[in-house]
Amino acid sequence: MKRVRPFSISRIQSFDQCKLYYKYKYIDEEESELETIESFLGNRVHEALKELYDSVRHGVVRSEEWLIDKYTQLWEKNYHSGIKIVNDEFSPEDYFNKGKNCLIDYYREYKPFNQAKVVRTEQRINFWIRYGDIEYPFSGIIDRLDWNDKEKIFEIHDYKTSGFLISQEEADKDWQMALYHLAILKLWPEAKKAKLIWHYLMFNKEIVSFRELDELDKLQGAVIEKIQEIESCKEFPPNKSPLCDWCEYQNICPLWRHPKEMEKLDINEYRNDPGVKLVAKYSELEEEKIQLKKRIEEIEKEQEKIKEAAIELAERENILIIDGPDKQLKIEVKDEYYTPAKSENPDLWQKLRELLMKEGKYEDVSTVNRRMLNYHINHGSWPKEFIEKIKKFLIRKIEKNVRLINKYY
């Protein structure tokens, strides 16, 4: 059955990063006009390189000055006051210069841009992911597709303006570029081998990877499995992480709605807000608890010393009661057997278990272990049919709690 809206790598990554973000963006389709400076910088660099390679494709090699002028024009034309800068240690000019330096390094590295023939730039591709009789539509944008007529191979290029550099191992496992290879293979069946090239512009570094056909088949299965997980998802909890600072839905997210509303208040309004008062009081009591716990620990250490002294006195005097002003200390001696834990002595534990089973006594000492039962139910190690059968014997208990956390992480 065909679905109207195709999947993409960014869509899948959104689900893995924060399920609530995924719901807002792809299910509820909440509108947002937020643009971060990192996204803006990346778009302008991509546009400038597209202009450069479009000229190369028509046989014209532009100058370095032309490229920087084009980038400057694109920046100035599109920049607006609503762009969000999370790291306020840097100005818009700092970010502009980052992009400019990336382009200068790139230009000097690849001029005269004759390494391969440019086929397409910023090309949107639509294709189907298939595994068995299951299929899903997929889409993406290839930054640049080249035909290397020397090596007789297609090259798929991806520009990255991120400040993070992936490893070779990460590149060899990357889904996005491998799926682009799959899309190219469907357009040109002879493209059984393609060169996947990442350009990490901030580092002026190129990373290359390849995929075999059997790897592409396995990838389709893995992608479909992930899509089915997404489509079967019923709950979309928020996930607090450093990525939240770049999220366009903070004003409606339950993790951020109140903090963001508080940022708009003056100091008096802020202090009188009911929520702020609750947190302040809770925090005050939590600090008091911490101090009391420290004192209790000190007392227990002192009691332990007294206990050792009392036992020593009782053994020396052969007594079981030690008298005091208004209390007494009773010395109790227990001589008991206990079962070995499997983790501390597995050999002894196994021999005991075998003996109990041999003598028909194992059922007498066996019991339902709630911790292990919950583990098997929640981690999917038991068949779903069996779990449904035993659910009627289980008690469902939903607990709600309040936990104080740091305002900043």
**What is the per-residue pLDDT for 3?**
46
What gap in Å lies between CA 365 and CA 357, rounded to an integer?
Answer: 10
**What is the per-residue pLDDT for 389?**
78
Candidates 2.60.40, 3.90.320, 3.30.70, 3.40.50; CATH matching 9-232 = 3.90.320
Is residue 227 predicted with pLDDT exceeding 90?
A: yes
Cis peptide before 112 (omega within 30 of 0): yes
Contacts of 177 (CB under 8 A, 6+ apart): 156, 158, 171, 196, 198, 209
Average pLDDT value for residue range 177-186: 95
DSSP letter at 7 equals: B
Phi, psi of 161, rounded to the nearest 5 degrees: -105, 15
Average pLDDT value for residue range 310-318: 91
Percent of the chain with pLDDT over 90: 72
What gap in Å lies between CA 204 and CA 103, rounded to an integer?
Answer: 9
Strands (DSSP E) contained in 161-272 are 194-200, 205-209
136: amino acid identity, one letter? Y
Is residue 173 predicted with pLDDT exceeding 80?
A: yes
Average pLDDT, the chain: 90
**What is the per-residue pLDDT for 213?**
94
Do the beta carbons of residue 199 and residue 162 sit within 8 Å?
A: no
Please write the tens of the pLDDT for every residue from 69-126: 999 999 999 999 999 999 989 999 999 999 999 999 999 999 999 999 999 999 999 9
Is residue 400 predicted with pLDDT exceeding 70?
A: no
**What is the per-residue pLDDT for 339?**
72
Strands 35-36 and 83-84: parallel
Is residue 210 predicted with pLDDT exceeding 60?
A: yes
What gap in Å lies between CA 92 and CA 268, rounded to an integer?
Answer: 33
What gap in Å lies between CA 45 and CA 284, rounded to an integer?
Answer: 50
Using pLDDT thresholds of 50, 70 and 90, give the confidence band for residue 279: very high
With residue 281 as reference, give the H or E element that holds it. Answer: helix 274-317
**What is the per-residue pLDDT for 92?**
96
Least confident of 106-120, 260-274, 381-395: 381-395
Is residue 401 predicted with pLDDT exceeding 50?
A: yes
- Better-scored residue on pLDDT, 370 or 294: 294
Average pLDDT value for residue range 278-296: 95
DSSP letter at 26 equals: I
Do the beta carbons of residue 19 and residue 236 sit within 8 Å?
A: yes
**What is the per-residue pLDDT for 359?**
78
Least confident of 209-223, 233-247, 333-347: 333-347
327: tokens are 């209390």
pTM of the model: 0.73
Average pLDDT value for residue range 231-256: 93
What is the domain partition of the chain in residue ranges? 9-232, 274-330, 346-393
201: amino acid identity, one letter? L
Do the beta carbons of residue 61 and residue 112 sit within 8 Å?
A: yes
Do the beta carbons of residue 3 and residue 137 sit within 8 Å?
A: yes
Is residue 369 predicted with pLDDT exceeding 70?
A: no
